Amino acid sequence: MGEPFDISYVFSFLPKLLGTLNTTLLIVACSLLAGIIVGFLVALPRLYKVPVLKTCSEIYISFFRGTPILIQLFLFYYGLPEILKLVHVDMTRTPVLVFVILTYGLHTGAYMSEMIRASVMAVDKGQVEAAYATGMTGFQAFTRIVLPQALGIAIPVFSNLVIALLKDTSLAFTLGVMEMTGKAQTLGSLTQHFIETYIALALIYLVISYTIEKLLLVAEHRLLRHEKRSTPEKKSFRVHKNWSYRRIIAEMGSGKGGAG
Amino acid sequence: MKLDPSFIWTAFLQILSAIPTTLYITVVSVSVGFLIGICVALIRIYRVPVLYPLAVGYVTFIRGTPMLTHLLLIYFGLPVLIDGLAAHFGWGFRSVSVPMIGFAYISFSITAGAYMSEVVRSGLLAVDRGQLEAAHSIGMTTPQALRRIVFPQALAASLPNLSNSVIGMLHGSTLAFTVSVVDINAKAQIVASTNWKFFEAYLAAALIFWGLTFLIERLTSLIEKRINLYNRGGVA
């Protein structure tokens, strides 16, 4: 089983793995963008209860949340070209990365739509009514009143989703994409120092997910600053209020449990 | 390659035989993970001196890195550790005798432990402190109060998260194919490559996972209804 453990390899592997970081981040960024767009499109029929589309989006969400991402990756990679061949579209020259981003985008989209739906619904209906009472139009009420509050509620879930997506990208190596995990496996089998490579890999993932979490925590504090109470005697109330937000988030159940 | 819808059914039947492996991995990792999770959560809630930073570090590390790296680290690291210890203490036990699925069990349990500890912790924190005080005031001892008052409420509060974690571990078990365990995903790969019908085989696998997830969700909602009986509204 390989060479004896040598900690110096961990440090020499770090820069080599960081060289493929941009592929990982490219997958994360593109699928996140696709996921948000898909998420909005899928959440709207459910929020406004559009008859047929609502059922379609429910099936979509159920499928992508009900099957492992790995199966979805294979399904799209092997299935999409075959289906498109029926309508005479040739996909044999499409780079693998496109399939990977497509799958991750659709996968994240399902979770995003749940997040969007839950956070919009978590905003008190009275807020909208109050906005109407002051003479705002529906669009104004949504963009000025509902959206800012919903964003604040959604951020913790969003942060979890981004981190889950980052960790899910480690599966792209199964289709031969040279992202960090794929690179790590190559390095491991080249040098026979498997443990050191995977320690280096784990460290990089840890640092990135920690950074993302901290960044989004700052964003959350900024978006929820209207929740702040300046008077000290209301301090306990503030904790309680913040806690209730956390409860809502916990009950939304749109987070990804485990895995990734 | 041509689409062959009838092969989906053939593949479906062949993949069915791999369901037990997937379920074993899920059940073992969730139950061992739950035990680890309770310990870690209690350490974090009561801030046990030395163990507290260790627990925090464990949870941060596991939640910040992909499940695949845990599996690979255990798969390559554990044999070195076992063999080193065996050589040092003169055991007859060698890492070769650990079955492949053993690595999956160990690694996924460690992964599940960190996620479960968060589930347990948020569940316990969701119960109002006054509940414990009220139980004390009517003369219950702390273990009694925990068992009769706090735990049932904590369980009810954490059930959705628990179900998410179980589904997460079910889906995560597909990674076991990297250490050559034949679970549903690996079986689908075998069926796909022997018949050269990838799409149909993975579609069948996806359907099986979808069904399993659906079952878990249904089961949870049943338990949730049962467990939330006390919470039916009324005066409060």
- Shortest CA gap A83–chain B (Å): 8
Residue A32's contacts (CB-CB under 8 Å, 6 or more residues apart) are A108, A162, A165
Of A66, A195, A199, the CB nearest to B210: A66
pLDDT at A235: 43
Query: Is residue A258 within 8 Å of B172, Cβ to Cβ?
Result: yes
Q: How far apart are the first and last CA of chain A?
A: 27
Residue B142's contacts (CB-CB under 8 Å, 6 or more residues apart) are B132, B136
* pLDDT value at B56 more than 50: yes
Of B68, B80, B126, the CB nearest to A170: B68
Token representation of residue A81: 């070209």
- Shortest CA gap B83–chain A (Å): 10
* pLDDT value at A236 more than 60: no
Instruction: Give the C-alpha distances (Å, rounded to integers) separating B182 from A225, B104, B151.
Output: 51, 11, 37
pLDDT at B233: 62
Q: Indicate yes or no: CB of A75 within 8 angstroms of CB of B126.
A: no
pLDDT at A93: 80
Of A2, A67, A198, the CB nearest to B72: A198
A82 vs B contacts (CB less than 8 Å): 1-3, 199
Query: Is residue A254 within 8 Å of A111, Cβ to Cβ?
Result: yes
> Over the range A85-109, which residues count as b (16 or more CB within 10 Å of their CB) and which as e?
eeeeeeeeeeeebebbbbbbbbbbb
Q: DSSP for A26-66?
A: HHHHHHHHHHHHHHHHHHHHHHTT-HHHHHHHHHHHHHHHH
| Residue-averaged pLDDT of chain A | 83
| Mean pLDDT value across residues B81-89 | 85
Percentage of chain A with pLDDT > 90?
Answer: 39
Residues B60, B65, B71, B74: is their CA dihedral positive or negative?
Answer: negative
B2 vs A contacts (CB less than 8 Å): 82
Q: Which residue has the higher pLDDT, A242 or B151?
A: B151
* pLDDT value at A258 more than 60: no
* pLDDT value at A123 more than 70: yes
pLDDT at A149: 87
Query: Is residue B78 within 8 Å of B95, Cβ to Cβ?
Result: yes
pLDDT at B8: 86
Of A1, A79, A170, the CB nearest to B80: A1
A68 vs B contacts (CB less than 8 Å): 170-172, 174, 185, 209
* pLDDT value at A243 more than 60: no
> What count of CB pairs under 8 Å joins A to B?
158
What are residue B90's phi and psi, to 5 degrees?
70, 35
* pLDDT value at A260 more than 60: no
Residue B130's contacts (CB-CB under 8 Å, 6 or more residues apart) are none
Q: Which amino acid is at A126?
A: G
In tens, the pLDDT along B139-184 reads 999 889 988 888 888 888 888 889 999 999 999 999 998 888 888 9
| Ramachandran region, residue B196 (left: φ > 0; alpha: ψ -120 to 50; beta: rest) | left
* pLDDT value at B34 more than 80: yes
Q: Coil, helix or strand for A224?
A: coil
In tens, the pLDDT along A208-235 reads 999 998 999 898 888 887 776 554 444 4
Distance between CA A260 and CA A201 in Å, rounded?
15
Q: Indicate yes or no: CB of B171 within 8 angstroms of CB of A198.
A: no
Query: Is residue B199 within 8 Å of A75, Cβ to Cβ?
Result: yes
Q: Which amino acid is at A28?
A: V
3-class secondary structure for chain B? CCCCHHHHHHHHHHHHCCHHHHHHHHHHHHHHHHHHHHHHHHHHHHCCCCHHHHHHHHHHHHHHCCHHHHHHHHHHHHHHHHHHHHHHHCCCCCHHHCCHHHHHHHHHHHHHHHHHHHHHHHHHHHCCHHHHHHHHHCCCCHHHHHHHHHHHHHHHHHHHHHHHHHHHHHHHHHHHHHHCCCCHHHHHHHHHHHHCCHHHHHHHHHHHHHHHHHHHHHHHHHHHHHHCHHHCCCCC
Closest residue of chain B to A81, computed from CA coordinates = B199
Query: Is residue A167 within 8 Å of A205, Cβ to Cβ?
Result: yes
Distance between CA B170 and CA B204 in Å, rounded?
16
pLDDT at A230: 53
Pick the closest to residue A180 from A42, A14, A49, A46 (CA basis). Answer: A14
In tens, the pLDDT along A13-62 reads 888 888 889 999 999 999 999 999 999 999 989 888 888 999 999 999 99
Query: Is residue A231 within 8 Å of B105, Cβ to Cβ?
Result: no
Pick the closest to residue A34 from A107, A94, A96 (CA basis). Answer: A107
Neighbours of A212 (CB within 10 A): 18
What band does A250 get if pLDDT is binned at 50, 70 and 90? very low
- Shortest CA gap A63–chain B (Å): 6
